Amino acid sequence: MSEAVAADELRLLIERWERLDEEKKGIADDQKDVLSEAKARGFCTKTIRKIIARRKLESHVLQEDDALLATYAAALGMQLNFDL
Amino acid sequence: MSEAVAADELRLLIERWERLDEEKKGIADDQKDVLSEAKARGFCTKTIRKIIARRKLESHVLQEDDALLATYAAALGMQLNFDL
Amino acid sequence: MSEAVAADELRLLIERWERLDEEKKGIADDQKDVLSEAKARGFCTKTIRKIIARRKLESHVLQEDDALLATYAAALGMQLNFDL
Amino acid sequence: MSEAVAADELRLLIERWERLDEEKKGIADDQKDVLSEAKARGFCTKTIRKIIARRKLESHVLQEDDALLATYAAALGMQLNFDL
DNA sequence: ACAGAAATAAAAATGC
DNA sequence: GCATTTTTATTTCTGT
């Protein structure tokens, strides 16, 4: 019987995962709509994507508070000014 | 002034997109949680992923794929053991 | 002065790494060419990729994987008309 | 007989691809050696990775000559100074 | 429709 | 050994 219980557990987990996947897909569609709308209003979607990528970059990669990084960068003569 | 209007439009569109992205990220995290839970209960997450992928595919598409795979494998003299 | 030495050491190491990365990129491009050629000759690149992946796997590892997959699929009442 | 010819073609293509893969693996190992050496000399490999990532970023993403990007960025009040 | 680029998913590796 | 991070692979999308 524990087999059957495990099977049910497994099924529920997988179905939960798949439901979440559906939601994600819906949101991705919404994002497409946003870009379509932008395009319809005369904006260049490719450039918008670049802008978004840069803004993401800023918050994730470039805003690091890493003293050692600064040290190494200095050793290499790299400038680390990211005033995005 | 139309410049300013366009700028605002652009900003709003981008911020909408980014908000949607946040949502997507949240859901992806939930999916991770599901898999963690599965793991905690003793299931093999790698296999679960395979199951999920398989459920996504329509079986007839799957079979076509397999047929070509078999052809190529035969051409290479590969043994294709699917003793399930 | 030891600072300067360390800086030079660091620079050399990083540049070595980056050179290797360039080489890797070149080879990846060659691999793309191989697949393009295969496509041009009428082969299905997707299937070729599957074949390559399969050749990478030791067959015994593969079989173990398949066994667990079958167990989970059975638990879900899935038909397993095999794929890779 | 054309079947046999195709099989040989296929085999050769795949073997070429696999040989290239071996080369790539060798280079990846060399890169590991570089990092191991750096570590042995007292450098922090994690920070080195960050430095490398930034240098790559510079050459790929940030060096774009895109007037429209500047326009959009200006509209959003973004600064685009990347003096890495 | 095809090539190229971007995003996502899967796998590998490193550090704790 | 686990868990996080990194790298690779596959899929998806966009522009030509």
- Per the model's pLDDT, the better-predicted residue between A30 and B79 turns out to be A30
Query: Residues B16-44: what's their mean pLDDT?
Result: 91
What chains are in contact with D, requiring at least 3 Cβ pairs below 8 Å? A, B, C
Interchain contact A33–B (C-beta under 8 A): no
Residue pLDDT, tens place only, A35-66:
999 988 889 888 898 888 888 877 666 566 67
CB of A74 within 8 Å of a chain D CB? The answer is: no
Q: What pLDDT was estimated at residue A60?
A: 67
Residue D8 has pLDDT above 80, yes or no: yes
Q: Are the beta carbons of B69 and C84 separated by less than 8 Å?
A: yes
Integer Cα distance of B45 and B19 in angstroms: 30
Element (H, E) at A14: helix A2-40
Residues 20-59 of B, Cβ under 7 A from nucleic strand E: 24, 28, 46, 49, 52-53
CA-only gyration radius of chain D, Å: 23
**Contacts (Cβ under 8 Å, ≥6 apart) of C58:** none
- pLDDT over 80 (residue C83): no
Number of helices (H) and strands (E), helices first, in chain A?
3, 1
Separation CA B80–CA C34 (nearest Å): 24
C6 closest CA partner among A71, D54, A66, A79? A71
Q: Is A11 helix (H, G, I), strand (E, B) or coil?
A: helix
In whole angstroms, give the CA distance from residue B78 to residue B73.
5
DSSP code string of B27-75: HHHHHHHHHHHHHHTT--HHHHHHHHHHHHS-HHHHHHHHHHHHHHHHH
What confidence category does residue B84 fall into, taking pLDDT thresholds of 50, 70 and 90?
very low
Give me the sign of the Cα torsion angle D22, D23, D26, D28.
Answer: negative
Dmax (CA) for chain D in angstroms is: 68
For residues A76 and C11, the answer to whether their CB atoms sit within 8 Å is: yes
Q: Lowest mean pLDDT: which of B32-46, B54-68, C5-19, D2-16?
A: B54-68
Single-letter amino acid, residue D55 = R
Give A64-83 pLDDT, tens digit per residue: 667 888 899 999 888 765 43
What the block records as the tokens of A65 is 């508070």
Reported as a single tens digit per residue, the pLDDT across C9-37 is 999 999 999 999 999 999 999 999 999 99
**What pLDDT does residue B83 have?**
31
Residue D48 in this model has a pLDDT that exceeds 60: yes
**Cα–Cα nearest to B61, from A76, C83, D83:** C83
DSSP state of A36: H
How does residue C70 score in pLDDT terms, banded at 50, 70 and 90? confident
Q: What is the pLDDT of residues D19-35, one digit of tens each?
A: 999 999 999 999 999 99
Buried b (16+ CB within 10 A) or exposed e, B1-28: eeeeebbebbeebbebbeebeeebeebe
Whether the full predicted model's pTM is greater than 0.85, yes or no, is no
Cβ within 8 Å, pair C81-B62? yes
- Which chain D residues touch B14 with a CB distance below 8 Å? 76
Exposure b/e, A18-33, CB count within 10 A at least 16 = b: eebeeebeebeeebee
Q: Which two tokens stand for residue C6?
A: 């360390």
φ and ψ of D82, to 5 deg: -115, 80
Q: What is the pLDDT of residue A82?
A: 47
| Helix axis angle, B59-75 to C45-56, nearest 10° | 70
Interface test with A, best of D44, D49, D56 (most A CBs within 10 A): D44
- Strand E at less than 7 A from CB of A24: yes
pLDDT in tens, A12-33: 999 999 999 999 999 999 999 9
